[in-house]
A and B are shown apart, each in its own frame.
Chain A
């Protein structure tokens, strides 16, 4: 009996190892706890959904995808350590992190290892440092902020604007571009307020906004802080139009801020409320699997995996060294790869060009008011 058992065990180990060798390894490092938990959890769930779908249809070039998740705790230092650990496992592609500050400190590690990094950060500077391995899943601030400033000036007709931003790489990057653009267009910045990440009390900041009496307020904070300031703005009776980016009008913000989010507007690169059939289908699948409506980070994580699939299929082989070269300049059409949801083009710097949306929160729901076309 014993030899049979031994052979059985050996056989099991052999089949397990061969399946392991065949799987394409992806490593994800995301904000699964800490201030960015909303970002990271959506990102992770998006990734898991895409991997499950792709594997159910036979994988990529006949090989299964296998993804590991590590928690950066929303802390750049921890993110760096986790990315190093992930790279030591020699993944095919690195996914994440979502926070720009964490991307900034981890990108050199991935570049050094020659591994492509598909991330969620939106700070302008990330793709301006000549890194050949870094790719966005959403707009960088240099693409989105000019659209925001134009909307504030042309559509909201605001002559004076208060800008409130979070004092980290993400916030500072957006603030720099938007202030420059508002200046150029002729809208005066009457208050330039920095806040801290994780800040709980916004009474004083809203007091300053009230004192500056602007025509519009541009809010550029992370999700939880956005919710807190929306509540405080309502509490102190500020009624001027509020404009922001995805982080002001995301699903999580609406859930946290309740009716204080009504009326807030934002430019959104990705939204699950987009009038696009593939995105509607994605939203349905995601909500069914996780029991909540994803925000744009869920879309970003999902897209990241499909970027891997489309690029690999374009190459016709699994080659981590050639991956980044292939993705540069690549246009992926939703007609060819439905998982990519909308036609997208990647530049030589890893930036993306895609259509985007202008959204307003109406009675607790994101309503797309305008569709802004692809730039090129």
Chain B
């Protein structure tokens, strides 16, 4: 069925973006027990930073670089120093609530200082399509998939194949022991925040040409990524990737074969089923769960 093939490609492309956002989610959780409910808004904001850069005359490529750098400063460094660090000592829940407040703050700020209206956003991938197995597949979908896969591959290589990655994993798994053997735990945690900021900026760059730049566009993304992270396993990077792809495909299939009205409900039902029957997530490890 040609329709099914198209749906799978479109679903994988959306899912790959969910995966990027979900990976950031799990990284923050593993290293610092931060559940970032502003993750969706973190995806929305970089697009506006890039638009602002273009507005003052920067060409698109420069705007992308500036947007990513600014995101890493604001959503990585400043987020950690100004919100996570002071709130952390009060526990996981107050921090989670603080991130919810941050989400509202970011949304309202964009609405106030930019506009409540949607804005167009240029695409890094040219429009047009190529033929795969006799099916016309859009370059945009392929582009999104390729960039997302490269980002995830890069991240897993960093985590598993480099000394830095091993130190990060040690800091995440047992900070006390890591400290004893000389891992700079604080710096490792900061690094995960910067990586998260980089991933959300990348997701923003990929998704905004399709969804348009709008202050409220983070709501859907944040929710999808959160579900993806839980479904895949909150304590596993590979779980978040699988969860993201799965939710993307499921969402598209539900819209096509169930009904558009219930498309949002299907991933939710799936989420409930996972929580009931496999609470550690599809690829998660049960023993590591602390909540």
Residues on B with beta carbons closer than 8 Å to the beta carbon of A256: 118-120, 212
Please give, as numbers and ranges, the residues of chain B lying within 8 Å of A257 by CB-CB distance.
120
CB distance from A175 to the nearest CB of B (A): 13
Asked whether, in the complex, the Cβ of A224 is within 8 Å of the Cβ of B212, the reply is yes
In the complex formed, the residue of B with least CB distance to A235 is: B138
Which of B138, B209, B263 touches A236 (beta carbons < 8 Å)? B138
CB-CB < 8 A to B141: which residues of A?
Answer: 235
B140–A41 touching, CB < 8 Å: no
Contact of B212 among A205, A227, A237 (CB under 8 A): A227
- Most central of A38, A195, A205, A231 by chain B CB within 10 Å: A231
Q: Which residues of chain A are within 8 angstroms of B256 by Cβ–Cβ distance?
A: 204, 207-208
Nearest B-chain residue to A234, judged by Cβ: B127
Interface code A171-206, partner B: CB below 8 Å = 1, 0 otherwise?
A: 000000000000000000000011110111101110
Q: At the interface with chain B, which of A10-18, A29-37, A136-144, A275-283?
A: A29-37
Do A201 and B261 touch (CB < 8 A)? Answer: no
* Complex CA–CA separation, A195 to B263 (angstroms): 10
| Contact status A235-B118, CB under 8 Å | no
Interface string of B251-275 (1 = CB under 8 A from A): 1111110011101100000000000
A228 with B212: CB separation less than 8 A: yes
Return the chain B residue nearest A74 by Cβ: B116
For A33, the chain B residues whose CB sits under 8 A away are 111, 116
Q: Which of B192-246 contact A (CB under 8 A)?
A: 209-212, 214, 216-217, 220
Chain A residues whose C-beta falls within 8 Å of the C-beta of B7 in the assembled complex:
203-204, 207
CB neighbours of B140 from chain A (8 A): 235
A6 → chain B closest CB, angstroms: 40
Among A194, A201, A234, chain B packs the most CB atoms within 10 A around the CB of A201
A207 touches B10 (CB 8 A): yes
Report chain A residues within 8 Å CB of B65: none
Cβ-based interface call for A252 (8 A): yes
A252 CB contacts on chain B under 8 angstroms: 117
> Which B117-135 residues sit within 8 Å CB-CB of chain A?
117-120, 127, 129
The residue from A204, A236, A260 contacting B252, defined by CB atoms under 8 A apart: A204
Question: A237 vs B111: C-alpha distance in the bound complex, in angstroms?
Answer: 34
Q: In the complex the two chains form, is B251's CB within 8 Å of A201's CB? A: yes
Measured CB to CB, the nearest residue on chain B to A40 is B116
Taking a contact as CB atoms under 8 Å apart, the answer to whether B10 and A195 are in contact is: no
Given known pairs A33-B111, A224-B214, the reply for A201 and B252 (CB within 8 Å) is: yes
Least CB distance from B120 to A in Å reads: 5
Q: Verify if B163 is at the interface (C-beta below 8 Å from A).
A: no
Count class of interface residues, chain B: 35 or more
B191 to chain A, nearest CB (A): 31
Q: Closest residue to A73 on the B side, CB-wise?
A: B116
Instruction: State which of A207, A210, A227, A236 has its C-beta within 8 Å of the C-beta of B118.
Output: A227
- Contact flags (1/0) for A340-357 with B, using CB distance below 8 Å? 000000000000000000
Bound Cα distance A201, B220 (Å): 10
Q: Would you give the 0/1 interface string for B1-32, flagging 1 where the beta carbon is closer than 8 Å to chain A? A: 01100110011001000000000000000000
Q: Which residues of A contact B254 (CB under 8 A)?
A: 204
Task: Name the B residues within 8 Å of A41 (CB-CB).
Answer: 116-117
Shortest distance between the CB of B144 and any CB in chain A (Å): 11
Q: B10 to A203, Cβ gap below 8 A?
A: yes
A258 at the interface (CB under 8 A from B): yes
Task: List A contacts of B138 (CB < 8 A).
Answer: 235-237
From the candidates B118, B129, B209, B211, name the one contacting A201 in the complex (CB within 8 A). B211
Residues of chain A contacted by B253 (CB below 8 angstroms) = 204
Binary contact track B153-188/A, C-beta < 8 Å → 1, others 0: 000000000000000000000000000000000000
A204 in contact with B115 (CB, 8 Å): no
Given contacts A201-B14, A224-B118, A255-B120, 5 further A-B contacts (CB under 8 A): A193-B260, A201-B252, A203-B7, A235-B129, A257-B120
Residues of B within 8 A of A (CB): 2-3, 6-7, 10-11, 14, 111, 115-120, 127, 129, 136, 138, 140-141, 209-212, 214, 216-217, 220, 251-256, 259-261, 263-264
Give me the 3 closest cross-chain CB pairs, A-B, nearest first: A203-B10, A204-B255, A37-B116
Of the A-B pairs whose beta carbons lie under 8 Å apart in the complex, a sample of 25, sorted by A's number, is A34-B216, A37-B118, A196-B264, A200-B211, A201-B14, A204-B7, A204-B10, A204-B254, A204-B255, A204-B256, A204-B260, A207-B10, A207-B252, A210-B2, A224-B118, A227-B118, A227-B120, A231-B209, A234-B127, A235-B127, A235-B140, A237-B136, A256-B118, A256-B119, A256-B212
